[in-house]
Structure 1
Amino acid sequence: MAGPEPYLADPVDLAALLKKPATDVQLLAALRAASRRFRGQVRHPVSLVTDDTVFLDGTGKAVLHLPAAPVRRVTAVEVDGQALEGVKVRRQAGLLLHPAGCWPEWAEITVTYDHGLDPIPEDVAEVVVDQARVIYRTDPAIQQITTGTESVSFAATAAVGITEQWRAAVEAHRLNRGDDA
């Protein structure tokens, strides 16, 4: 499997805001952290992944949810090791429809496919850069030192919150909304 790129935004965009070189190690670490946070909240890699193989359990239902979307191409589907032809794909939603009705329960379904976005949507890149800028500027200073019975406290590190733009981008790109209950 060719995995996703480490960043969901161009380091040059963050570098321009911070007036730092795009190769700055701290800048790249902040961009990687913001990208990881976004991917975690939307529950998929977002960027293009090719030849990804996933193992799913049969559900007894006609539709099978893939763990990432949009689906660019499905190269193989197997049910308990046997190739299955004629599977229909809902690309944007990441759904597979069994050609004979239902995916057998307790079956192991193996799917090899390409998924994700290339290029990364502008709304995603923008909020990732904004979050990375905040992460970069957050001071990871020591908050408290205790020695024996003496304790000294320093100013607390600023929390990295989210903006309304972040919330909207996450909601727009998140998968598997049905398991929020």
Structure 2
Amino acid sequence: MASPWATPEELRKHLRLPAIDEAAAAAAIAAAETIIRGELRQDIDAVTDDTALLVGNGRRLLNLPQMPVTAVASVHQDGVLLTHGTDYRWNRFGILTRLGEPLWRGRLAGCWPLDADVTVVYSHGYPVVPAAVKQVCLQLAGRAWVRTSTAVATESLGDRSIGYDKDRTGEELTAYELRLLEPYARGPESR
């Protein structure tokens, strides 16, 4: 498990509080991290030797699910080890490019074969959480901390049912925060 993106002390300072319940603050930070990871569809934290199971698409490019990519240890296509620089290349945006002549022995060698199993062992993420991501995490955790009591959107009496509104709990990212996070999101396929 990666280190938290922020500490309870940083949340206390962000909220300008004299004291803070450290366990509750850590939980609010963890919840904010989960929301941000879900929005970005990225782990953000540095991960070494992660395995991605991909399927060939009949084209030259395949996208790895996480970025930035910091290293590719191996690529196997249908169990056959491929060679970097000869069979494929990669970039930090998580794009694997299949190399080779367009036609080789009557087939497309420069493409990932349609429905081929492609297994990639690679490293990705940021060794230090980017400042913008950390700031959004603190803002989200801070809103959730402040607005917990005003979050009830619906309430029932029979069998006691309470519904919460994410916007009123502070768990919804604002348009400004989404713009701050945009560079860290999994982009379009052509990225």
For the aligned pair, the TM-score class normalised by the smaller chain equals 0.7 to 0.9
**What residue number does 1:89 align with?**
90
Give the RMSD, CA atoms, in angstroms: 2.7
Matches of 1:27 and 1:115, distance apart in 2: 28
Normalising by the residue count of structure 1, what TM-score does the alignment of the two structures yield?
0.82
Matches of 1:115 and 1:11, distance apart in 2: 27
**What residue number does 1:25 align with?**
23
Matches of 1:178 and 1:65, distance apart in 2: 7
Q: Deviations over 1:16-62 (max 9, x none)?
A: 234335x7111011101111111111111011111100100001111
Aligned residue for 1:132, secondary structure, equals helix
Listed as ranges, the gaps of 5+ residues in structure 1 are: none
**What residue number does 1:79 align with?**
77
**What residue number does 2:99 align with?**
99
Aligned residue for 1:44, secondary structure, equals coil
Residue 124 of structure 2 corresponds to residue 115 of structure 1: yes
Residue 137 of structure 2 corresponds to residue 128 of structure 1: yes
Q: Is contact 1:55–1:108 with CA below 8 Å preserved after alignment? A: yes
Q: Is contact 2:63–2:189 with CA below 8 Å preserved after alignment? A: no
Matches of 1:171 and 1:178, distance apart in 2: 15
Matching residue's letter, 1:138: R
Matching residue's letter, 1:36: T
Listed as ranges, the gaps of 5+ residues in structure 2 are: 101-109
Report how many aligned residue pairs link the two structures: 170
Normalising by the residue count of structure 2, what TM-score does the alignment of the two structures yield?
0.78
Residue 50 to residue 177, structure 1, CA distance change in 2 (3 Å): same
Matches of 1:72 and 1:124, distance apart in 2: 19
**What residue number does 1:7 align with?**
4
1:41-52 map, 5 Å: 41-52=39-50
Aligned residue for 1:73, secondary structure, equals strand
Matching residue's letter, 1:16: K
Residue 180 of structure 2 corresponds to residue 166 of structure 1: no
For residue 178 of structure 1, report the CA deviation from its aligned partner. 5.1
Q: Deviations over 1:51-90 (max 9, x none)?
A: 1001000011111100011110100100111101122111
